[in-house]
Amino acid sequence: MSLSPGPDERASARLADLTWPEVKAAAADDTPVVLPVGATEQHGPHLPLATDALLAERLGVEVAAGLGLLVAPPIAYGYRSRPLSGGGEGFPGTISLSGRTLMALVEDVLSGLVASGFHRLILLNWHFENSNFIYEAAWLAHERVRNPDVRVIVIEAAFSELSPAVMDALFADEFPGWDAEHAAVLETSLMLHLYPTLVHFERAIDDGAALRPGYDVIPIPAELVPQSGTLWKATRASAAKGELAWGEIVRRVHDALAFELTRSASTSPARKPPPGAKAAR
């Protein structure tokens, strides 16, 4: 009896949907793997705690469809929420990791993927505060596995600059800066487009901290925390804005990965790029 996947088996972009023989075959085919990283964090009175994790995984799955990637189970907890970019730690339901824990978790997962035979890994982050920690974890994992074939790509998917046309459609002339955009126009619009049943838009409000200095204070002063957890104008969101922004975000991540995966395959010391349509695999 063969343990290889049969030709009629349903393909899935999600690593967790596969059996171990299918994973073995995918690794042997040099399939890249995306690890989405989000958070469990308050997003105002209108968006779910899972917003960051949902958007990170959905982005990974949509990009995977065009590039032949696998998407690992997302990391749904992130580094602690800072008041001026996430509202802070005081809201019920916000469950955060220390930087040390997050780095250890990401490092272990990346190392486990390498141990399963994968060599091209992508960290896809959708939580502002995770950034430096997951980069360090990627660095440490690469040092730990000591494998010259391994490549790790780190992409900050959230709050990267969009085209002028999309920025104008989202904000007109009132863009507050990405740090203040938590649970506001972009994320609310994306959730209205992708997960409308999880959005309580009737509860969306325009809010913000009474004081926004260019520095942090510990312990956190009350005037740095908006009462609702929304850092700007959530009522200006719409599903149409979300559809426009999401299309551009998916295209940008797709194009970046198509370029980098093809380049990394062609420059790998021990591997050659697969032929034809599978050039990004």
CA pair distance 239, 127, nearest whole angstrom: 21
Q: Is 181 a catalytic residue?
A: no
Q: Is 129 a catalytic residue?
A: yes
In degrees and rounded to multiples of 5, residue 7 shows phi and psi of: -70, -20
Q: Is 52 a catalytic residue?
A: yes
CB 176 within 8 A of CB 212: no
**Candidate list 22, 30, 43, 254, residue with the active-site label:** 43
Q: Is 41 a catalytic residue?
A: yes
Q: How do strand 70-71 and strand 33-37 relate by DSSP bridges?
A: parallel
Report the side by side order of strands in the sheet with 33-37. 70-71, 33-37, 120-125, 151-156
CA pair distance 191, 183, nearest whole angstrom: 10
**Secondary structure E strands in 31-182:** 33-37, 70-71, 120-125, 151-156
Beta-ladder partners of 206: 233
**Candidate list 62, 187, 193, 207, residue with the active-site label:** 187
Q: Is 142 a catalytic residue?
A: no
Closest CA to 246 of 69, 72, 66, 58: 58
Handedness of CA 14, 249, 130, 198 (dihedral sign): negative
Length of the chain (residues): 281
**Candidate list 46, 119, 127, 193, residue with the active-site label:** 127
**Candidate list 22, 52, 62, 181, residue with the active-site label:** 52
**Candidate list 182, 193, 207, 254, residue with the active-site label:** 182
> Packing angle between helix 239-267 and helix 164-171, nearest 10 degrees?
150
**Candidate list 41, 57, 62, 181, residue with the active-site label:** 41
Q: Is 127 a catalytic residue?
A: yes
Q: Which residues are catalytic?
A: 41, 43, 52, 127, 129, 182, 187
